[in-house]
Amino acid sequence: MFTKILIANRGEIACRVAATARKMGIRTVAVYSDADAHAKHVLACDEAVHIGPPSPKESYLLGARIIEAAKATGAQAVHPGYGFLSENEEFAQACADAGLVFIGPPSSAIKAMGLKAESKQLMEKAGVPLVPGYHGADQNPEMLKREAGRIGYPVLIKASAGGGGKGMRIVAKAEEFEASLASCQREAINSFGDDAVLIERYVTKPRHIEIQVFGDSQGDCVYLFERDCSVQRRHQKVLEEAPAPGMSEARRREMGEAAVAAAKAVGYVGAGTVEFIVEPTTDGDLRFFFMEMNTRLQVEHPVTEAITGLDLVEWQLRVAAGEPLPLKQHELRIHGHAIEARICAENPDANFLPATGRLEVYRTPAAAEFERSVGAQPGSANAAVRMDAGVREGDAISPYYDSMIAKLIVWGADRAQALARLDAALAQTHIVGLHTNVAFLRRVVASPSFANADLDTGLIERERAVLFDAPPLPLEVAAAGVVAHALAAERVLEGADPWSRRDGWRLHGAAVRRFDIESQGTHHAFTLERSRAGEQALVNGGQRWPFAAVARGGEVHDVSLSGRRWTLSVYATGERISVFAPEGSAVVDEFDPIAHAADGSGAEAGRLTAPMPGKVIAFLAQPGEKVTQGQPLAVMEAMKMEHTIAAPRDGTIEELLYAVGDQVSEGGELLRMAAVA
């Protein structure tokens, strides 16, 4: 077994690998960019080596620099995690050439499966079912469009070297093909350095089910059952679960054996995932087609660990060290049900726009950290709730890397118990300082489709009415949280003499105190009235709610409104106040009517500004050009994704304020427009 390994990654996966290595008595070396100098994964390892500026192209993607760090620190092996260099056959070979063990498959297997078109041709020879499509080498746009017409719309354009949902576009009709192809190729070049694509028939109600496989250097290979990853946005996974609902034992065995055959066809060693598109048949069964093989550990591997009680990183290390697989196929069993939720810095109500900022508050469920959760027996206390994260409170989410903050994994004896535990754990996840998808995840979990396991990749769009722009916590409850927090803070300042009392007592009449808040752009004036007898009421307009609040310590308050009790966690960061309850959450701002009245300038209507920090990829209109509201004007890249920005109104382009390739801060004005005369 190795005595020291280098982890060529960052964030939660680097922390995850370090935890298993520590358990096995293996020392670890971290690598870090300027942006990650004080990151959690750096402190999680025994040593750390600086490798460059924040941009991945100048740090985490520099294989030669990482190999130098491994050799300089005496590491015997390199664990690539996922993303970055994990599926780069040249890096895997460079490790081998340098005398380092690459903790993953041989470079030949990565190469065989890394290009989607070639891998599909390989699977076709092996007899694995394929979705009808074009996987050839001719990349002439006109020829690709003809192939799309032959296959029949809708079609899916996919980057041949892609993964992680990047470089994928659904095309509904021929008129949209050229623009979709160009966008897909731009994203593919930026993410993978290769703009080759393949085209497939788009299965209209597809499920995404993948099989976890593991091979060793002795030629043995097993499957560790399936994961359903159908709930997706922008072709990226949101929720993953194991086992897949509705999967019969016969179909599970058939898909597992097909996945093992695919792995053996390329001499696979280590952890890998064979992904299938699955569609229902008229008789209620499932028909599956090979989609791709990810030649690495997956983000969602914890749900497999939860239902098997195994540590897949430990398996990776043992196999990479030349040991045989720890278990045979007949020894593997499924226990219970597990679900993973990806907690991301993004705004679901703004088309999942990535968010950046500081984690002013980062509170998680009373969960076992993965150091104790991994390998825990299903059903044990440590297996119930697990949080995998590479951040701490106070850390910043930057525009340089993926938007994922953490992964929340729950286990239950059955799916119903897992769902209940997931909702409760999400309710206890409090993040303040930037937009996140936590509230959205709760809505997905509670949606009829997900709750009833009516799964396919169109679930989010199908449930749009209940998932987006959902009302937050009732406004009066949010206001009650603001009041309770203010009163509790003032009581801390009270002295022993009656003149410092801050409870609103008056010698004559009732005490009235005003609280002005702004919610979703609207000003609301609440008043707290207190009678001489000590009775309190919260008042807004013509509504009145009897009110009482008791501080439970810290940010937690027991609040009563009209006889209904709420437990609220309230966090104030500057003028912004975030209120969390088991039933939901809300964010409001303190409103100063005097200051607001004095600010008569306001923002210029229709300004085209950057909604997030990022890089300008393209301008789609030039100075002097007339444009209409909703017309795409610019393309930006942030957090490894492309984002198209549309005209806020009709007008004429006056001036482009940035050049293609420039970095733009959030709120930066991209171009100037003149109103239509």
- Please name the amino acid found at residue 557: H
In whole angstroms, what is the distance from residue 663 CA to residue 2 CA? 42
In whole angstroms, what is the distance from residue 381 CA to residue 384 CA? 6
The whole-angstrom distance between residue 228's C-alpha and the CA centroid of its chain comes to 16
Phi, psi of 312 (to 5 degrees): -70, -30
Is 296 among the catalytic positions? yes
Phi, psi of 585 (to 5 degrees): -145, 165
Q: How many residues does the chain have?
A: 677
- For 108, other C-beta atoms within 10 Å of its C-beta total 14
Angle at 44 between CA 43 and CA 48, to 5 degrees: 60
CA atoms within 13 A on the CB side of 433: 20
Strands (E), 367-449: 368-369, 385-389, 396-397, 404-412, 430-432
Burial (CB < 10 A; 0-12, 13-18, 19+), residue 281, is exposed
134 strand-pairing partners: 199
In whole angstroms, what is the distance from residue 558 CA to residue 555 CA? 10
- Let me know: does 41 contact 18? Beta carbons within 8 Å: yes
Strands (E), 401-444: 404-412, 430-432
- HEC assignment per residue over 632-670: EEEEEEECCEEEEEECCCCEEEEEECCCCCCEECCCCEE
272 strand-pairing partners: 213
Q: Of 209, 200, 202, which Cα lies nearest the Cα of 286? A: 209
- For 444, other C-beta atoms within 10 Å of its C-beta total 23
Q: What is the DSSP string of 66-124?
A: HHHHHHHHT-SEEE--SSTTTT-HHHHHHHHHTT-EESSS-HHHHHHHHSHHHHHHHHH
Q: Distance between the two ends of the chain, CA-based, in angstroms?
A: 75
* Tokens read off for 77: 């092996």
In whole angstroms, what is the distance from residue 538 CA to residue 520 CA? 20
Runs of H (alpha helix) within 535-616: 593-598
Q: Of 120, 181, 186, 189, which Cα lies nearest the Cα of 146? A: 181
- Please name the amino acid found at residue 328: K
In whole angstroms, what is the distance from residue 104 CA to residue 315 CA? 11
- For 182, other C-beta atoms within 10 Å of its C-beta total 14
Distances from the Cα of 562 to the Cαs of 84, 234, 545, 578, 586, in angstroms? 54, 43, 5, 22, 20
Q: Which of 169, 296, 342, 443 is catalytic?
A: 296
* Tokens read off for 497: 């003499």
- Is omega for the bond preceding 348 within 30 degrees of 0, making it cis? no
Catalytic positions = 296
